[in-house]
Amino acid sequence: MDMESGIHAGYRAAAKLYEEKTGIKVKVETFTPDDTYRQKFQAAANSKNLPDVMNWWAAAGDSIENSVVELSGEIGDDILSTYYSAAMDPIIVTQSQVDSWQADKNATNIQKSLKAGQFYGLPLDIGGFFTFYGNKKIIEEAGLSAEAPQTWEEFVSMMETIKEKTGTPGLVFGAKLPDLWENWAGSALSIMLNEPQGYIDLLERNSKLSDPANLPVVKAMETLADKDLLMPGILSTDIDGADQAFAAGKAAFDLGGSFTMSTLLAMGMNPEDIIAFPVPPLEGSKITSWTTDPFTLTMMSVNKDSKNKEDALDFIKFLTADPDAAIAFANAAYTVPALNLGDRSAELEPSLKAISDAFSTEPGPYSQASPAINTFRGKHKEWEVYAQSMQSMMEKKMSAEEVAKKFDDTMESLKASGN
């Protein structure tokens, strides 16, 4: 099954339900890769030949607004309140976007024409990082039950048993990208261990990485390196390479996001052979299970020149806000719906349900830390040094204590020079 056919299958499943309900047949076409899709859209928009309904990246001011229906007058709270609380955030135009577009000489005419509160799409699916995938066959071959570990230490112990019994390395991820570990796992370990404020203190330079409260997070990676649980060649492995290696059985676990599932299936894996679980907490963590605030991946929009505008609008409401349609789409496309399914999430495929259960419906611990993450993790250069040091530690060239000391020393010298 290629990745596009997964999404295609999702639309087909929802379209079949819609036809049963209304008698209206929906014809589905998909195009891949992304660049081809953007070009097709632009050409069709220029020739006023767009389809009735379009799937687009969840965003405001992304150049499609001239071609699609502005929905704020069409869609009420009866629909909007059914989605995850943050699902509309990237789609609704904000006052700060309006202000920045007005002040930006490079902003497009479309951007400059938008007003706060407008939106041009409804959220279809959501995603998040902080997800580990496990190969059930390899886990069971090692004599273990294919269940999510409850703690980091239990996770490490599973990887040790797997390596000892099957010879398969424990973990792969795109370690070629130096900050991927911190973005997709390390920050979660830290926020669970010391609650959001503990991580905020580190970002705001009010604590040190070598503090006994913070060092266990660095040691979590040191343990994987020291016990040879990382896939050989991990530092030259990018995200796609990691997913390919996992799909080929070269590692028992893969670190990714909710969207990794459809990639693994596109690479030929069977959903029954995969378990998914969020980053497990270190023993003694103040927060004992990880939940993350999902972000919206794509939205559904209606062609403003459509001859079937009412039906098209009805279909996107059905697809995004009707639980039967959302579940049918999600299970066929292997993506988590933006609709808050509540108890009906039990009807999602097991791996999707596990991912969906780790998404907080209300702002969770990550959202408490995210303002500080967004403000300081790129600006404070000790985090760049840390990412590189972590790579050295994966090669066993540095210890956790040395990594922490280098971070602290860099932080102190930057602070002293006013950076």
* Per-residue tokens: 183: 């973005």
217-235 burial, b at 16+ Cβ within 10 Å, e below that, comes to: bbbbbbbbbeeebbbeebe
State residue 5's pLDDT score: 55
* Per-residue tokens: 348: 């999602």
CA dihedral 259, 260, 262, 264 (to 10 degrees): 180
State residue 364's pLDDT score: 84
325: closest CA among 45, 102, 11, 109? 11
- β-pairing, 253-256 vs 131-135, is antiparallel
170: closest CA among 129, 226, 213? 226
- β-pairing, 53-57 vs 295-302, is antiparallel
Q: What is the rounded CA–CA span in Å between residue 336 and residue 317?
A: 17
Q: What is the rounded CA–CA span in Å between residue 158 and residue 382?
A: 33
| Non-local CB neighbours of 378 within 8 Å, separated by 6+ positions | none
CA distances, 211 to each of 202, 371, 385, 405, 407 (Å): 10, 23, 18, 10, 12
- β-pairing, 336-337 vs 122-127, is antiparallel
State residue 2's pLDDT score: 33
Strands of the 336-337 sheet, one edge to the other: 53-57, 295-302, 122-127, 336-337
CB atoms within 10 A of CB 345: 19
Q: What is the rounded CA–CA span in Å between residue 91 and residue 118?
A: 9
Handedness of CA 213, 283, 177, 336 (dihedral sign): negative
- 3-state SS, residue 55: strand
Q: What is the rounded CA–CA span in Å between residue 171 and residue 168?
A: 9
State residue 31's pLDDT score: 77
Q: What is the rounded CA–CA span in Å between residue 139 and residue 406?
A: 37
Contact 132, 277 (CB under 8 A): yes
What is the maximal distance between C-alpha atoms in the chain? 70
CA distances, 237 to each of 228, 321, 394 (Å): 16, 39, 13
- Please report, in tens digits, the pLDDT of each residue of the chain (419 residues total): 233 457 888 999 999 999 999 999 999 888 767 888 889 999 999 999 999 999 999 999 988 999 999 999 999 999 999 999 889 999 999 998 999 899 999 999 999 999 999 999 999 999 999 999 999 999 999 999 999 999 999 999 999 999 999 999 999 999 999 999 999 999 999 999 999 999 999 999 999 999 999 999 999 999 999 999 999 999 999 999 999 999 999 999 999 998 898 899 889 999 899 999 999 999 999 999 998 888 999 999 999 999 999 999 999 999 999 999 999 999 999 899 999 999 999 999 988 998 898 888 777 899 899 889 988 998 999 999 999 999 999 999 999 999 999 999 999 999 999 99
State residue 387's pLDDT score: 97
State residue 292's pLDDT score: 83
